[in-house]
């Protein structure tokens, strides 16, 4: 009987030498036949007979061999899989033990990764939720907005006659709807009191075109969408919940708006709001719109017909617009059309800053991962003896690399889980910031985001674990024993590169956020043209008891005087309140204006002829106190006064930009203008009596526009929805806010008691920039922190490595300061590369991006300051290790 040499020894080795399947089976069966033949020969058979007999007794060799092969192959596959699992489980157990044994390294790595991955995860959530996510409208990619394209290249709203012609003549669209391009706040009264909410007028088919079904109820019926039809509104889901207490049936639910009771017939789900902040939708067709071709009142929404591309639609619409221009001449303001996919329209200015911030967060992750790689590398070198030992004991290089990779992937995956939590929390914070980014409030960390985050995490672990792992596995017996200097230099170069990239990334982010900061600072301290301090603003609508919506044109004068009287009385009562110095009416709030403008022409320089002198100017209605209250300087002529009443000559004051544009010779005073587009019930020739300074009308980041100020009393009907400015007495701002609120609640319960300081309006007008600045600064701070940790770790490590050398130098008389110098010189080498590369990168990046992202247009000083911050911080980070080095006891160091 045969005996195996030693069956129990080294299973791994045995598996490694196992022959290929076919060979394995063939040799096994060959052996059987050979032994059997021998046995038969021993029993006296002839060799040939023995061989034949052995084969006969064996049976169908071919079939058996085939079966055995299949079985063996299957078994080996199963085995391999379970082996892999065993090894993985082993690696995991080993890794976890390692991580627990070195809590400082583990915790530091996890914090680093949480920040890096969390940053990317947060920004990915935003980009995905706001920009990439399909809009909640049926086949939303077929939806487009249409605008008239003015000769000056601006998109302007569309006039009703044009919409009618477009609808009739175009074949590119399945359906066309329109809505008021001006969404404005308007008081709506419910059982819970009055509130100012965004309201909008939409055409009959609006929701059908959009592809949105009401959450509760229905959209408008035909009866509700004709002049004089039943008053009905749709409300947003939020309004329905917050103001109406979410009744499941809308039967008998009414609100009071525009002076009448309107039946609430439908609720629009939150995710489908368009425009985004709308709370109440009116039927546009209920009030007749007699305006002409130059009354640009409507935004147009259309659904492309099947098979029609955007460019085909563009060609057709431009042809139609050119036709309209040819037919109607001067009446038609444009001969071209802009068509824009709805998503592009909605995201507008938000998209680029978001992508920009996403890119910035990716840089932070890159930095965090570099930090991790540095840490892993340092550890791998610390564990050199262990690794050498393991490889001497037969662990192959592949196994070692896999072990080290397991470690980095476990770390990054844990970091990914923590990072997702971070993203969740960060999002809560970001959503409290007023960013004006559409749909931001709807964004959630969902399953998709989690999956992507974990994917990114694992990938990061693989990529950034690979370099240290390969490096570590290369440590062979020779270099470990001899500590060759060549290996050290190579490693130092690698480290220098890593630190330099960290410094470079931090520098880029620092430059970016400092640029945004300085820009914001400039804007905030920009001269607005008026005194912002101690001014309070409130929105007021003249009660509808005084002005019914559809009154007899014969009563025009009477209604106007009623509105004027209301304003007179209201501003007098406001001014009489304690702590209030003055009050003024204005049709629009400075810094928050919607820039209502209309065509004006100059009389008598021919309102029909010279097109050059026709143009658009802001149309503002103010009471005489407006300029004094805001301290707007009167540059020429006079301001407005109480004697400019409805019965007096119609006058106006223009701003400096207007005067310089139309009257460059300075002869504006005394000229007459017509503002045909805006005046109700016939244009009235108006004489310019003064020129005032410019004020920033649309926010501090936009330049002044041409403006004409008309006395509110002379065009009172236009002031039905207007704002009030109130100047508090010095130091009495907070008290005044309360006083005004109390006054409204007490005396005018049908008006919303909403008051705000102009200072708040100014800050609010920068909210988009503030959001970008906030996020980028947070990223830059994290990057700075990570880069410093990286520098600190590397310098510390190198000090430890050079302990013996430093000991010798101290023994030879090097002073403490000398040691500091030694370490700082080392740090300087690390920093200098990063600062140079980072500066170059930052310069080219800001140059490319400054046209895309507001505020990325920095002073060269910003680069200098950023570099300085990094260098100082870098030296600070190396101060601790340097101090430790200088305290080295030479005797101890040399003995070790």
Partner 1 sequence: MTNPSMKLIRGTLDVLILKTLSWTPLHGYGVSKSIRESSAELLQVEEGALYPALKRLEARGWLEAYWGETETHREAKFYRLTSAGRKQLQAEVTAWQRYVDAMASVLYREQPVNG
Q: Is 182 in the site for partner 1 (CB under 8 A)?
A: no
User: Which residue, 19 or 548, has its beta carbon nearer to partner 1?
Assistant: 19
Mapping DSSP onto H, E and C, the string for 13-70 reads: HHHHHCCCHHHHHHHHHHHHHHHHHHHHHHCCCCHHHHHHHHHHHHCCHHHHHHHHHH
User: Which residue, 89 or 876, has its beta carbon nearer to partner 1?
Assistant: 89
User: Which residue, 65 or 198, has its beta carbon nearer to partner 1?
Assistant: 65
Task: Give the pairing of strands 580-586 and 651-655.
Answer: unpaired
Q: Counting Cβ atoms within 10 Å, is residue 627 exposed (0-12), middle (13-18) or buried (19+)?
A: buried
User: Which residue, 47 or 805, has its beta carbon nearer to partner 1?
Assistant: 47
**Which residues in the 457-496 window bind partner 1 by CB under 8 A?**
none
Of 26, 45, 51, 68, which one interacts with partner 1 (CB under 8 A)?
68
Residue 512: both structure tokens together: 């970016």
User: Which residue, 17 or 812, has its beta carbon nearer to partner 1?
Assistant: 17
- Could you tell me which of 867, 853, 841, 844 has the C-alpha nearest to residue 775? 853
Beta-bridge partner residues of 233: 264, 282
Q: Which stretch binds partner 1 (CB under 8 A): 52-60, 341-349, 541-549, 802-810?
A: 52-60
Place of tokens 């009167």: 634
Task: Return d(Cα 668, Cα 687) in angstroms, integer.
Answer: 9
Q: Minimum Å distance from CB 833 to partner 1?
A: 57
CB 519 within 8 A of CB 769: yes
CB 323 within 8 A of CB 335: no
Distances (CA, A) of 248 to 157, 237, 245, 261, 497: 37, 12, 9, 20, 65
User: Which residue, 78 or 569, has its beta carbon nearer to partner 1?
Assistant: 78
Task: Return d(Cα 466, Cα 882) in angstroms, integer.
Answer: 31
Place of tokens 């005044």: 736
User: Which residue, 57 or 444, has its beta carbon nearer to partner 1?
Assistant: 57
Assign 614 to helix, strand or coil: coil
CB 674 within 8 A of CB 686: yes
User: Which residue, 69 or 816, has its beta carbon nearer to partner 1?
Assistant: 69
Q: Is 53 in the site for partner 1 (CB under 8 A)?
A: no
Beta-bridge partner residues of 257: 188, 260
Q: Minimum Å distance from CB 37 to partner 1?
A: 11
User: Which residue, 76 or 340, has its beta carbon nearer to partner 1?
Assistant: 76
Residue 817: both structure tokens together: 């300061």
Of 26, 41, 52, 61, which one interacts with partner 1 (CB under 8 A)?
61
User: Which residue, 81 or 97, has its beta carbon nearer to partner 1?
Assistant: 81
Of 22, 46, 47, 71, which one interacts with partner 1 (CB under 8 A)?
71
Q: Minimum Å distance from CB 48 to partner 1?
A: 19
Radius of gyration of the chain (CA): 39
329: left (phi over 0), alpha (psi -120 to 50) or beta: left
Q: Minimum Å distance from CB 91 to partner 1?
A: 23
CB proximity list for 397: less than 8 A, separation 6 or greater:
391, 473, 474
Q: Minimum Å distance from CB 9 to partner 1?
A: 10
Q: Minimum Å distance from CB 84 to partner 1?
A: 17
Q: Minimum Å distance from CB 45 to partner 1?
A: 13
User: Which residue, 27 or 171, has its beta carbon nearer to partner 1?
Assistant: 27
Q: Minimum Å distance from CB 64 to partner 1?
A: 4
**Which residues in the 560-579 window bind partner 1 by CB under 8 A?**
none
Of 22, 46, 47, 75, which one interacts with partner 1 (CB under 8 A)?
75
User: Which residue, 19 or 455, has its beta carbon nearer to partner 1?
Assistant: 19
Of 22, 46, 47, 67, which one interacts with partner 1 (CB under 8 A)?
67
Q: Minimum Å distance from CB 33 to partner 1?
A: 9
Q: What single string gives the DSSP state of each residue in 128-152?
A: IIIIISPPSSTTGGGEEEEEEE-TT
Start-to-end Cα distance in the chain: 61
Q: Minimum Å distance from CB 395 to partner 1?
A: 22
CB 375 within 8 A of CB 108: yes
Total of residues contacting partner 1 (CB under 8 A)? 34
**Which residues in the 11-50 window bind partner 1 by CB under 8 A?**
14, 17-19, 24-25, 27-29, 31-32, 34-36, 39
What residues line the site for partner 1 (CB under 8 A)? 1-5, 7, 14, 17-19, 24-25, 27-29, 31-32, 34-36, 39, 57-61, 64, 67-68, 71-72, 74-75, 78
């Amino acid at each position: 009987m045969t005996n195996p040499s030693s069956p129990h020894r080294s299973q791994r080795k045995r598996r490694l030498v196992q022959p290929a399947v076919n060979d394995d089976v063939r040799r096994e069966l060959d052996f059987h036949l050979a032994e059997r033949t021998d046995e038969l020969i021993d029993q006296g058979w002839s060799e040939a007979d023995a061989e034949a007999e052995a084969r006969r007794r064996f049976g169908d060799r071919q079939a058996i061999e085939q079966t055995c092969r299949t079985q063996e192959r299957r078994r080996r596959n199963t085995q391999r899989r379970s082996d892999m699992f065993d090894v993985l489980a082993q690696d995991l157990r080993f890794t976890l033990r390692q991580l627990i044994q070195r809590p400082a390294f583990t915790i530091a790595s996890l914090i680093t990764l949480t920040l890096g991955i969390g940053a990317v995860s947060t920004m990915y959530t935003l980009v995905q939720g706001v920009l990439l996510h399909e809009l909640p409208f049926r086949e939303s990619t077929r939806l487009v907005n249409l605008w008239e394209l003015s000769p000056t290249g601006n998109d302007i709203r569309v006039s009703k006659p044009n919409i009618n012609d477009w609808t009739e003549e175009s074949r590119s669209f399945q359906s066309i709807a329109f809505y008021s391009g001006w969404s404005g706040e308007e008081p709506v009264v419910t059982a819970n009191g009055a509130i100012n909410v965004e309201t909008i007028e939409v055409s009959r088919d609006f929701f059908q075109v959009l592809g949105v079904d009401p959450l509760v109820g229905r959209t408008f019926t035909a009866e509700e969408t004709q002049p004089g039809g039943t008053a009905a509104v749709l409300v947003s889901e939020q309004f329905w919940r917050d103001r109406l207490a979410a009744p499941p049936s809308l039967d008998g639910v009414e609100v009071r708006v525009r002076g009448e009771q309107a039946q609430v017939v439908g609720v629009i789900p939150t995710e489908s709001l368009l425009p985004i902040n709308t709370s109440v939708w009116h039927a546009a067709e209920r009030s007749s719109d007699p305006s002409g071709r130059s009354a640009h009142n409507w935004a147009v929404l259309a659904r492309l017909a099947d098979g029609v591309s955007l460019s085909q639609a563009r060609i057709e619409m431009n042809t139609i617009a050119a036709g309209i221009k040819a037919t109607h001449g001067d009446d038609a303001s444009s001969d071209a059309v802009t068509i824009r996919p709805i998503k592009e329209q909605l995201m507008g200015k938000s998209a680029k800053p978001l992508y920009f911030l996403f890119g910035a967060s990716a840089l932070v992750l890159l930095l965090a991962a570099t930090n991790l790689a540095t840490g892993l590398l340092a550890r791998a070198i610390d564990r050199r003896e262990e690794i050498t030992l393991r490889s001497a004991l037969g662990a192959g290089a592949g196994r070692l690399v896999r072990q080290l990779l397991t470690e980095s992937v476990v770390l990054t995956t844990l970091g990914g889980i923590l990072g997702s939590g971070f993203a969740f929390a960060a999002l809560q914070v970001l959503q409290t910031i007023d960013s004006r980014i559409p749909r931001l409030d709807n964004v959630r960390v969902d399953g998709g985001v989690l999956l992507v985050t974990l994917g990114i995490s694992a990938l990061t672990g693989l990529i950034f674990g690979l370099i240290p792992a390969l490096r570590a596995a290369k440590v062979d017996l020779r270099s470990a024993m001899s500590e060759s200097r060549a290996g050290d230099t190579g490693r130092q170069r690698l480290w220098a590169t890593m630190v330099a990239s960290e410094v470079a990334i931090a520098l880029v982010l620092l430059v970016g956020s400092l640029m945004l900061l300085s820009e914001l600072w400039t804007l905030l301290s920009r001269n607005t043209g008026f005194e912002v301090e101690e001014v309070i603003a409130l929105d007021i609508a003249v009660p509808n008891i005084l002005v019914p919506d559809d009154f007899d044109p014969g009563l025009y004068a009477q209604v106007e005087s009623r509105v004027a009287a209301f304003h007179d009385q209201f501003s007098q009562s406001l001014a009489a309140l304690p702590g209030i110095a003055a009050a003024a009416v204005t049709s629009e709030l400075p810094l928050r204006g919607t820039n209502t403008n209309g065509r004006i022409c100059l009389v008598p320089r021919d309102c029909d002829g010279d097109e050059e002198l026709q143009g658009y100017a802001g149309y503002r209605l103010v009471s005489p106190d407006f300029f004094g209250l805001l301290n707007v300087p009167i540059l020429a002529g006079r301001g407005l006064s109480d004697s400019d009443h409805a019965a007096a000559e119609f006058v106006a004051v223009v701003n400096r930009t207007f005067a310089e544009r139309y009257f460059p010779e300075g002869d504006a005073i005394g000229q007459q203008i017509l503002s045909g587009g805006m005046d109700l019930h016939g244009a009235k020739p108006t004489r310019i009596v003064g020129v005032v300074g410019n004020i920033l009308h649309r926010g501090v980041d936009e330049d002044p526009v041409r403006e004409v100020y008309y006395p509110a009393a002379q065009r009172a009907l236009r002031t039905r929805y207007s704002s009030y400015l109130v100047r508090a007495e010095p130091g009495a701002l907070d008290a005044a806010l309360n006083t005004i609120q109390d006054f409204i609640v007490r005396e005018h319960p049908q008006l919303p008691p909403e008051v705000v300081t102009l200072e708040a309006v100014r800050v609010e007008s920068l909210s988009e920039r503030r959001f970008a600045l906030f996020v980028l600064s947070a990223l830059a701070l994290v990057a700075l922190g990570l880069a410093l940790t990286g520098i600190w770790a590397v310098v510390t490590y190198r000090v430890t490595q050079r302990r013996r050398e430093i000991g010798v130098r101290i023994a030879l008389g090097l002073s403490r300061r000398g040691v500091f110098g030694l370490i700082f010189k080392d740090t300087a080498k690390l920093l200098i590369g990063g600062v140079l590369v980072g500066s170059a990168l930052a310069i080219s990046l800001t140059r490319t991006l400054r046209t895309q992202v507001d505020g990325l247009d920095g002073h060269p000083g910003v680069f200098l300051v950023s570099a300085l911050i990094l260098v100082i911080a870098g030296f600070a980070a190396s101060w601790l290790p340097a101090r430790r080095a200088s305290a080295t006891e030479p005797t101890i160091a040399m003995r070790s």
